Amino acid sequence: MKKIFALLLVALMLLPCIVSCSGGGGGTVINARGTASKEAEKLGADGLLIVTPYYNKCSQEGIIKHYNYIAQRVSAPIIVYNVPSRTGVNIEPATYAALADHPMIQGIKEANGNISKIVETVARVRGKLDLY
């Protein structure tokens, strides 16, 4: 474990590094995600990859509150990770449009596989979020 941690520290110094912060409690405890995100920043993360809450299948409004809660507490940019096959909920294009208004939310890692939804998302966020 010490070797892995040492390699991570070297990578953080040499390369831009985006850290995935899923948090504890089965990915459902928002305070744990906020804490994990702050810890990643302290270690030098250049960005944060935050997966949509899973297990509880929150509403679209809940997704907005979740990401905004974390975004208000960090200084590193956030990439929203939408992987509905794992989380049980898909982020809708209108939700992305609302998230695009927060300056710390800067990207989307989209894994829903629905090209028409992706095209709609791109149109709604109007260049405010990068799409991966």
The per-residue b/e assignment along 4-24, b for 16 or more CB within 10 angstroms, e otherwise, is: eeeeeeeebeeeebbbebbbe
Distances (CA, A) of 72 to 19, 76, 104: 18, 10, 8
Determine the residue type at 2.
Answer: K
Largest CA distance in the chain: 45
Please state, in angstroms and rounded to a whole number, the distance separating the CA atoms of residues 101 and 121: 14
Please state, in angstroms and rounded to a whole number, the distance separating the CA atoms of residues 81 and 90: 10
Strand pairing category for 47-51 and 105-110: unpaired
Catalytic site includes residue 128: no
Catalytic residue (choose from 2, 3, 67, 81): 81
Catalytic residue (choose from 54, 109, 117, 128): 109
Residues involved in catalysis: 81, 109
